[in-house]
Chain A
């Protein structure tokens, strides 16, 4: 895709003005970093950081039959939601493969907001529209909304500085509508970094106003604008999967180790039969997390994984962890070799480097 065919978020000019390095990502021109991935990463772990997430898609599903239908499209159980609450869930194909991973919020008695991956938005919409009964309303509102993720241990302080001391932060995984200086925003207590945080959605035309205010009020708290580079290192340390790398239409949530977000007791949802079979037969491969045993080159996507001389799988995500200062990654490896504590080798430019399979998450707050 040429750069001119890429979309830009309402905050694009702000990123350029601040000297961010811009890369194409999922059909969008996004900041990968401002000054340094490591500095931005540390800002989120120690203080607070703000990310443009306007590229993410928003689908709205409504009407009387919405909940019942969505429960046949998604793996998690929507009946567990109350108004204002969200859950992590999967949209699967008939083979149980992952089309997308997303968060669904119940935002009204008969109304749901789905926040989906940028690169999958159109595909998700087309898939859902194809399966949609006539009496359910489905809208792709992605072009209307912008959003930011504000993440880090000092998020509560910034939230109160922005919205007032007497306004309560929504509980974990909940979403609330709030007013901010004459504009309407939705604030969800969610994130992709392993830190406390919120994701704030607003109309595209209000994006610059909110972004500017958050950076200004966050100044004394040490806020830093952060790019996709830090977003990737932060999420990988806590082993959150990235669609297109750790998840794909060829992988199901069971082998990805994410069965917790699949309710197989539901009578019917797309992919259920395939998942039941996968569970019964056992997955041939599993998504594991690993840490390099010594300082060395960081693992990267597509590197081969070995157990002694046998090739057992392939890296799907890898980086140098800024918090641990070691190479870390995730890989699909054949199930008999997937046990925690297994010593493996990662092949990097023809040379093998020792690593060990570890429990997820790789990074835990001390």
Chain B
């Protein structure tokens, strides 16, 4: 499984890319491979404020619906509209065009709670 070194990770299988005061969030290669066949994504509303570990999006595969969590406290400033027409982007490009939302983070220190690539790799075995 692909676990890029330059990203941070949440225990709930989201990846987090720091972009100055914001973070871009998607689900990991491991997560998309477990879900397979993503058929629908419910995106968070722009302007929504979320606490860390709060469910703010839903990914549906053929067999089940899975919550996607805000990795840190912040405000949603972008959501990937391309997923509405082509949810399979999450399977094909989990770290690229398959990103889900961008959060403006409240406190950069919160990012210290997240895992680095080595720790996440260890989690998924």
Contacts and interface: CB of A to CB of B under 8 A. Distances in A.
Interface stretch (A146-154, A256-264, A293-301): A293-301
Contact of A36 (B34, B36, B58): B36
Interface residues of B, number: 13
A320 B65 CA distance: 12
Contacts of A21: 34
A322 interface: yes
Contacts of B65: 297, 300
A7 to B, nearest CB: 22
Which of B37, B63, B64: most chain A Cβ within 10 A?
B63
B50 interface: no
Interface residues of A, number: 19
B37 A298 contact: no
Given A32-B63, A37-B63, A229-B63, A298 B58 contact: no
Interface string A17-41: 0000100000000001101111000
A320 B58 contact: no
B62 A229 contact: yes
A282 B63 CA distance: 34
A296 B40 contact: yes
A300 B58 CA distance: 14
B39 interface: yes
B64 to A, nearest CB: 8
A130 interface: no
Interface string B31-54: 000101101101000000000000
B60 interface: yes
Which of B34, B36, B42: most chain A Cβ within 10 A?
B36
A53 B60 CA distance: 27
B37 A38 contact: yes
Nearest to A23: B63
A32 B62 CA distance: 11
B81 to A, nearest CB: 14
A21 B40 CA distance: 21
B62 A297 contact: no
B42 A349 contact: yes
Contacts of B36: 33, 35-37
Interface in B40-85: 40, 42, 58, 60-65
B90 to A, nearest CB: 13
Contact of B62 (A38, A295, A349): A38
A319 interface: yes
A75 interface: no
B58 A297 contact: yes
A329 to B, nearest CB: 13
Contacts of B60: 297-298, 320
Contact of B39 (A33, A232, A298): A298
Interface string A317-331: 001101000000000
Interface string B86-98: 0000000000000
A349 B66 CA distance: 12
B94 to A, nearest CB: 15
Contacts of B58: 297, 349
A233 interface: yes
B40 A233 contact: no
A35 B65 CA distance: 19
A297 B64 CA distance: 10
Interface string B2-32: 0000000000000000000000000000000
B42 A320 contact: no
Contacts of A36: 36-37
22 contacts: A33-B36, A35-B36, A36-B36, A36-B37, A37-B61, A37-B62, A38-B37, A229-B63, A233-B62, A296-B40, A297-B40, A297-B65, A298-B62, A300-B64, A300-B65, A319-B62, A319-B63, A320-B39, A320-B40, A320-B60, A320-B62, A349-B58
Interface of A: 21, 32-33, 35-38, 229, 232-233, 295-298, 300, 319-320, 322, 349
Interface of B: 34, 36-37, 39-40, 42, 58, 60-65
